[in-house]
Amino acid sequence: MSLYENLPVYKKALDLTVYFNTIVIHFNKHYKYTIGADLCNLSRKILIIIARANLKEDRKLKLIEAIEFLEELKILLHICKEVKAFNGKKSFGVAVKSVIEVLKQCEGWLRSQNSSSTKP
C-alpha cells in the first residue's frame, strides 16, 4: 500500500474520479466525448497531484496546483449543468458537493503546511 492511499483527501478525490466516470457514461454522445472526457481527465489529474503532494518536497506547489484544477472542475460542472449534460437531477449537486469537499481538504492541508513552515 502506498503512503498516500490512507489520506482522507486522496480517498475523497478517488471517489470523485470514480463518480465522474460513472455519470459521464450517461451523457449524450456530444457531451460524453467533450466536456465529459474533460471531467474524467481533470479529476484523474487532481488525484495524481494529491498523491504526489504526499511524496514530494514541493508539497505546497502541488496543493496549489490541485486547488486551481479543482476550481476549473467546478467551472466545468457549471457548464454541464447549463447545457443539461447531466442525466440525473441529483448528479450536479452530488458532483459539486464532492468537489468542494476535496477542495476544502486541500486548502486545509495547504494551511497546515503554511503554519508549520512559519514555526521556528
| Long-range CB contact pairs, 40-46, < 8 A, 24+ | 42/69, 42/72, 42/73, 42/76, 43/13, 43/16, 43/17, 43/73, 44/17, 45/69, 46/13, 46/16, 46/17, 46/70, 46/73, 46/102
Identify the pLDDT of residue 118: 54
- Mean pLDDT across 58-85: 96
Q: Please report, for the chain, the start and end positions of each structural domain, with discontinuous segments joined by +.
A: 7-114
More confident call, 113 vs 97:
97
Q: Domain 7-114: state its class.
A: mainly alpha
Q: pLDDT per residue over 14-35, tens digit each? A: 999 999 999 999 999 999 999 9
